[in-house]
Chain A
Amino acid sequence: MNGYNFAYLDEPTKRMIRRAILKAVAIPGHQVPFGAREMPLPYGWGTGGIQVTAAILGADDVLKVIDQGADDTTNAVSIRRFFSHVAGVETTTRTRDATVIQTRHRIPETPLTGDQILVYQVPLPEPLAKLEPSRAETKQMHALADYGLMHVKLYEDIARFGHVTISYDYPVMVNGRYLMSPSPIPAFDTLKMNRMPALQLFGAGREKRIYAVPPYTTVRPLDFDDHPFSLTRAPHACALCGATNSYLDEVVTDDRGSRMFVCSDTDYCADRRGEMEGDAS
């Protein structure tokens, strides 16, 4: 295997990570510290996600990697190639065919099943970090489920702007107990996490934390009774496949102000276009 152990990490390290994952699954939403290793890519490029993927990957797994929903961007391509090189596993871009999906900042549009695992790359695992700089204090707030401060932030948003202005990394309550950062996925994706049949694992390499949402766990975005959480989406249809319910990227097409809106999930978009061509012929 090219002089590397299967999936790059040595077996004791994988075991240590699996232990952290088991603990994380047992306490949904709770951040479990782990001994993150140096990986052959820089912090911020998915070192946490890569380690989680390496620890759970088996020889029969089929891996898909997305970066902002796309299979063909640098981060996705290089991580996919990394694992096909050091683990020899089959890779795919099709959401339906994958057993493990590592993602940066999106949840695929195609609903996931109980046979799949979604691995998130997390830059900042602590949802309270921006409000309370002390780690010791946030730990205590989690221990006492003392989350009034997060609501103060939402209150301030509504008081100043009339609505909650958090558009990504929207704080969620997991299983009615732990406040969790869903990683910088758009607020649009937050509701997909609720009672998802697939196991969701979160790895933060620089911050050395792993957390998890087990299948069919309730995940609720924080809100007020009279200002309920609402989805925000660009008011357009995808220029390529015409989807009106998917999350859109705005793409600038020239230097004269032209732009188009396309699905951020490239596999979903390609799938829909394939179906349309099938219908036409």
Chain B
Amino acid sequence: MTLPLLEAHDLQLQFGSIRALDHVSMALWPGEVLAIVGESGSGKTTLLKVLSGSDKPDAGQVLYRDPELALHDVHAMGAPQLRALHRSDWGFVQQNPRDALRMGVSAGGNVGERLMAQGDRNYGNIRQVALDWLAQVEIDGRRIDDLPRTFSGGMLQRLQIARTLATHPRLVFMDEPTGGLDVSVQAKLLDLIRSLVSRLGLAVILVTHDIAVARLLAGRILVMRRGQVVETGLTDQVLDDPQHPYTQLLVSSVLQA
């Protein structure tokens, strides 16, 4: 039996009188896609920030198991180690690609930045990797020297994914990766993410309010409400036979086309 890649134990975080995280525990196994769903303000994004180490919880632990199976407490490690982790083993896909990309740097430079931050000092190699990744996310290689500001919204999001995956992370955090895109672009992007995830064997923690996105991508699902995990299980099981009243409400409120 393989061991979990990431574990969270009894996380608690309070903003004033609001309980953003109320005794949240979870585990993620290698190669697994876990969706965190819930309405706005349910604590999804807060949980993602705590899991990825950018926000500290009031209580509880987040443990990451590295490729040598050693456990690391994410919130006890120093800033240099956390930063190194974020640019090697981990990746983060933001909702708004403009927050993650360098808009004044060419597409190739954006994809190559993580490689260079890791110490790759061979221009030809960096450029080849950038070209490969642009091809994988279906961006024309001839646009490698174009600035992101000349790209469409869907292309920007694909560029962000290429940039994140260029260093072969094992674990990727995604915060509403399809938010703000129109439906047909969303569908194409979901298709791309799904094929990349299965081909590369990525573990993904995906935050979304869109049940359809969760159903398409995630193997397991975690439903949050007011900082608590109200239901968790296999995606199909939870969505087809919701047990908790809130999950039932969530599933039944999806519009049927």
Residues of chain A at the chain B interface (Cβ within 8 Å): 140, 143-144, 146, 148-149, 151-152, 155-156, 158-160, 223-227
- 10 A-B pairs whose Cβ atoms sit less than 8 Å apart in the complex: A149-B113, A152-B102, A152-B105, A155-B108, A155-B116, A156-B105, A156-B109, A159-B106, A160-B106, A227-B123
Q: Please report which residues of chain B, range 124-144, place their CB below 8 angstroms from some CB of chain A when the two chains form the complex.
A: 124-127, 144
A residues near B117, Cβ cutoff 8 Å:
146, 148-149, 151
Q: In the complex the two chains form, is B109's CB within 8 Å of A148's CB?
A: no
Q: In the complex the two chains form, is A152's CB within 8 Å of B83's CB?
A: no
Q: In the complex the two chains form, is A226's CB within 8 Å of B114's CB?
A: no
Contact of B79 with A by CB under 8 A: yes
Q: Determine the residue in chain A with the shortest Cβ distance to B115.
A: A148
Report how far A277 CA is from B116 CA in the complex, Å.
53
> Contact partner of A151 among B87, B102, B121, B145, CB < 8 A?
B121
Report how far A184 CA is from B56 CA in the complex, Å.
43
Q: A155-B109, A156-B106 are in contact. List 16 more A-B contacts (CB 8 A).
A: A148-B117, A151-B117, A152-B102, A152-B109, A152-B112, A152-B113, A155-B108, A155-B112, A155-B123, A155-B126, A159-B106, A159-B108, A159-B145, A224-B126, A225-B123, A226-B124
A contact patch SS: helix
Report how far A224 CA is from B125 CA in the complex, Å.
10
> Contact partner of A144 among B79, B105, B108, B127, CB < 8 A?
B79
Q: In the complex the two chains form, is B114's CB within 8 Å of A224's CB?
A: no
Report how far A26 CA is from B209 CA in the complex, Å.
54
Given contacts A152-B105, A224-B121, A227-B123, contact A160 B112 (CB under 8 A): no
B residues near A226, Cβ cutoff 8 Å:
122-125
Contact of B245 with A by CB under 8 A: no
Contact of B80 with A by CB under 8 A: yes
Most chain-B Cβ atoms within 10 A of its Cβ — which of A151, A223, A225? A151
Q: Determine the residue in chain A with the shortest Cβ distance to B107.
A: A159
Q: In the complex the two chains form, is A148's CB within 8 Å of B105's CB?
A: no
